[in-house]
Amino acid sequence: MDDADIAAFVQWFQSSGGSIDTKVMGIADVPRSGRGAIAMCDIPEGYTIFTLPRAITLSTRTSPLPALFGFDAWRAHRLHKGWVGLILCMMWEDAWTHELDVVDRDRQSQDNIQTKWGPYMRTLPTTFDTPMFWSSEELEELRGTSVVDKIGREDAERAYSEQLVPAIKTAPNLFPPSHHGKWYTLDAYHRAGSRILSRSFTVHRWKDDDEIEEDKDRDGVAEESGASEVEDPHPNTFTESSTHVGDAHSPSPLLDDTNEELNSDSEDDEDDPSDVAMVPMADLLNARWGSENAKLFYEPFVLRMVTTKKVKQGEQIFNTYGDPPNSDLLRRYGHVDLVRIHSPSRDSTPDRLEDVEMKDCDTDVETILRLGNPSDVVEVRADLIVHVVQRSNFSSKMKDVHTRIEWWLGEGEDDTFVLSLPGPGSALSAILPPALISLIRLIIMPEGDFKSARSKGKLPKGHFKKGDVKDSKQVLEILDEVLNQCEGMYIGGSVEDDERLLSLPETLAERKRHAVIARLGEKRILRDVRQRIRMMFAELSVTSRTEFGDEKDNTRRDNVGEDGGKAGSNRKRVVNGREGGSEWKRARK
């Protein structure tokens, strides 16, 4: 996309009712981030940079396509569920934007086809660096992370062939067969899906007529006294996925409710696919960990981008996605964040969240080991815990694992646990999700205790019991082996191996560099948490020796792992993460 496309877009934006303060915000190329918004002068906090009418957001609520296709037919093809409907609206808009440039424009009026978003569509990316588009060799670099399981390529391809393709064949006036091979291919479907994944917002319908009246009054005040006076705004969030239709609210008589017929079978307001919207101009803002300085606010008729901090001239205006971990950033947006982090096992200095970009700093090992994404997480699957316990000495006592899992899930508990980077000096008990400890206890508890707990409806406690050294050490041993096996699932060797790779940036292709950064963040968490487990285990051993003598401490360090896997050893076993999974899923049903 060139400057002329941007100029045409800005002109379209303004002539469609959008308003942008071009003295304050410029659009420019930002190295390695595509385009972004730049402050043209110092901007105070609470300043409105731009507004746009809800009607120029692009969603299934505002697109003319569902009405032209017919609402009943739209539903019959299940285009009102999930993202397929919006993907189709975008593909259709894209097709006619480009085709109307070359075909007889009479067609437009003849078929009532309007390409309202043409100049906007031309600003959208056509290539992506998200793992959806990676080769299998590139994806292999992400082995161990949860990214690959979450890409969802198969589900997307099923929706394409079972919903979208049959739908377009029924309406040749809207989707002429000559367009199919060009604008409605599987690749085009993935591109439209990726545009939504990386750029859409959740824009809820404005719900309450009284609120609208109140807000009209408030708007009057706000105009006089500045955008910071806007009350009760609803900050938007970047949206991840919508799998159900859901909205219990009656349609509001607002500008963006073109397709109110589609609202009626809503079940859950949180996941209404018609809330998922492309928001021109707002989606030009980049994001960076901890750097948000602007937010998009809802109002009855407009969306308003307002600074939430002072922004200095020349700085980027960032609207973040809630500072996700690198695994999510990479999967959804195709980039990763690197800022200065505290590493408990390497660093005795306190956290400094100073922004550092890899390209700006020396890429020696010393620098790299202090860079990361503080929001990184490791997802530990519950089936791995069951697998570890079943292979340990504890399992001889445990014959009713299905019943225990069924009870756990029946109580609404999770099948995945999230570990984050330990903060400086944080205790192990503050790092571990209570549910993780509770599940380990549930799986290892003697049969009698399990029956009694279940009859009382009380799941085991999710914290270490003070004074019960044996119990705490058992939990720690299981946990350490679970994390040992998690570590073994990653490709690329140790933390140090990945750090070395990153210190040679010239040898790394961009996608591989991103994969190494994403997996390194997770490996560091596992290393740091395991280090704390070992410290706590050692402390408990001292306590038990002091209080009871060695004889009483009958927990053995080697009772986990029938093939001799020792807690605390650095030896790694590669375990198929799905082992035990089928049993877990059976129980879940």
Q: How far is the CB of 189 from ligand SAM (least distance, A)?
A: 18
- Cβ proximity to ligand SAM, 322 vs 423, nearer residue: 322
Q: How far is the CB of 149 from ligand SAM (least distance, A)?
A: 21
Q: Does 359 bind ligand SAM (CB under 6 A)?
A: no
Q: Does 333 bind ligand SAM (CB under 6 A)?
A: yes
Q: Does 36 bind ligand SAM (CB under 6 A)?
A: yes
- Cβ proximity to ligand SAM, 128 vs 189, nearer residue: 128
Q: Does 33 bind ligand SAM (CB under 6 A)?
A: yes
Question: Is 453 buried (19+), middle (13-18) or exposed (0-12) by CB count in 10 A?
Answer: middle
Of 334, 372, 521, 580, the one binding ligand SAM by CB under 6 A: 334
At 332, list the tokens.
């959804």
Please, which of residues 141-160 interact with ligand SAM by CB under 6 A?
none
Strand 276-278 and strand 200-202: the pairing is: antiparallel
Q: How far is 266 from 247, CA to CA, in rounded Å?
A: 4
| Span near ligand SAM by CB under 6 A; candidates 141-149, 278-286, 443-451, 535-543 | 278-286
Picking from 157, 174, 191, 169, the residue whose alpha carbon sits closest to that of residue 66 is: 174
Strand order in the sheet with 19-20: 19-20, 48-53, 302-307, 294-298
| Long-range CB contacts for residues 24-33, cutoff 8 Å, separation at least 24 | 24/49, 25/49, 25/50, 25/317, 27/284, 30/286, 30/316, 31/359, 32/335, 32/359, 33/286, 33/335
Q: How far is the CB of 199 from ligand SAM (least distance, A)?
A: 5
Q: How far is 323 from 339, CA to CA, in rounded Å?
A: 12
Q: Does 514 bind ligand SAM (CB under 6 A)?
A: no
Q: How far is 437 from 419, CA to CA, in rounded Å?
A: 12
Q: How far is the CB of 124 from ligand SAM (least distance, A)?
A: 7
Question: Is 52 buried (19+), middle (13-18) or exposed (0-12) by CB count in 10 A?
Answer: buried
- Cβ proximity to ligand SAM, 240 vs 269, nearer residue: 240
**For residue 140, what are the CA distances in angstroms to 148, 152, 211?**
9, 16, 51
Q: Does 34 bind ligand SAM (CB under 6 A)?
A: yes
* Cβ 266 vs Cβ 272: under 8 Å: yes
Chain centroid, CA 574 distance in Å = 27
Beta-bridge partners for 296: 305
Picking from 216, 215, 404, 234, the residue whose alpha carbon sits closest to that of residue 303 is: 234
Q: How far is the CB of 15 from ligand SAM (least distance, A)?
A: 21
Q: How far is the CB of 30 from ligand SAM (least distance, A)?
A: 7
Q: How far is the CB of 28 from ligand SAM (least distance, A)?
A: 10
All residues at 6 or more sequence positions from 408 whose CB lies less than 8 Å from its CB, including other chains: 382, 439, 442, 459
Shortest Cβ contact with ligand SAM: which residue?
34
Q: Does 322 bind ligand SAM (CB under 6 A)?
A: no
How many residues bind ligand SAM, per CB under 6 A?
16
* Cβ 304 vs Cβ 485: under 8 Å: no
Q: Mask: binding to ligand SAM, 109-148, rule CB under 6 A, as x and -? A: ----------------------------------------
Q: How far is the CB of 293 from ligand SAM (least distance, A)?
A: 13
Q: Mask: binding to ligand SAM, 191-210, rule CB under 6 A, as x and -? A: -------xx-----------
Q: Does 523 bind ligand SAM (CB under 6 A)?
A: no
Q: Does 283 bind ligand SAM (CB under 6 A)?
A: yes
| Span near ligand SAM by CB under 6 A; candidates 81-89, 229-237, 248-256, 277-285 | 277-285
At 147, list the tokens.
């990214």
Q: Does 325 bind ligand SAM (CB under 6 A)?
A: no
Q: How far is the CB of 197 from ligand SAM (least distance, A)?
A: 8
| Span near ligand SAM by CB under 6 A; candidates 34-42, 149-157, 205-213, 258-266 | 34-42
- Cβ proximity to ligand SAM, 361 vs 435, nearer residue: 361
Using DSSP's 3-state secondary structure scheme, residue 68 falls into helix
Q: How far is the CB of 285 from ligand SAM (least distance, A)?
A: 6
**CA atoms within 13 Å, Cβ hemisphere of 441:** 20
| Span near ligand SAM by CB under 6 A; candidates 26-34, 66-74, 201-209, 465-473 | 26-34
* Cβ 459 vs Cβ 414: under 8 Å: no
| Span near ligand SAM by CB under 6 A; candidates 31-39, 247-255, 430-438, 454-462 | 31-39
With b meaning 16 or more CB within 10 Å and e meaning fewer, what string describes 549-559? eeeebebeeeb
Q: How far is the CB of 116 from ligand SAM (least distance, A)?
A: 20
Q: How far is the CB of 320 from ligand SAM (least distance, A)?
A: 9
Q: Mask: binding to ligand SAM, 284-303, rule CB under 6 A, as x and -? A: xxxxx---------------
> Can you say whether residue 225 is alpha, beta or left, with left for phi > 0 and alpha for psi between -120 and 50 degrees?
alpha
Q: With the CA atoms of 174, 177, 183 and 185 taken in that order, what torsion angle do they form, in degrees rounded to the nearest 10?
A: 120
* Cβ 305 vs Cβ 39: under 8 Å: no
Of 61, 179, 335, 519, the one binding ligand SAM by CB under 6 A: 335
| Cα 427–Cα 432–Cα 433 angle in degrees, nearest 5 | 140
Q: Does 35 bind ligand SAM (CB under 6 A)?
A: yes
Q: How far is 82 from 241, CA to CA, in rounded Å?
A: 8
| Long-range CB contacts for residues 67-72, cutoff 8 Å, separation at least 24 | 67/258, 67/259, 67/261, 68/112, 68/113, 68/174, 69/167, 69/171, 69/174, 71/259, 71/261, 71/262
Please, which of residues 400-439 interact with ligand SAM by CB under 6 A?
none
Q: How far is the CB of 333 from ligand SAM (least distance, A)?
A: 4
Q: How far is the CB of 556 from ligand SAM (least distance, A)?
A: 49
At 206, list the tokens.
């404005």
| Span near ligand SAM by CB under 6 A; candidates 6-14, 65-73, 327-335, 415-423 | 327-335
| Span near ligand SAM by CB under 6 A; candidates 253-261, 306-314, 333-341, 445-453 | 333-341
Q: How far is the CB of 133 from ligand SAM (least distance, A)?
A: 12
Task: Using CB under 6 A, list all residues that contact ligand SAM.
Answer: 32-36, 198-199, 283-288, 333-335
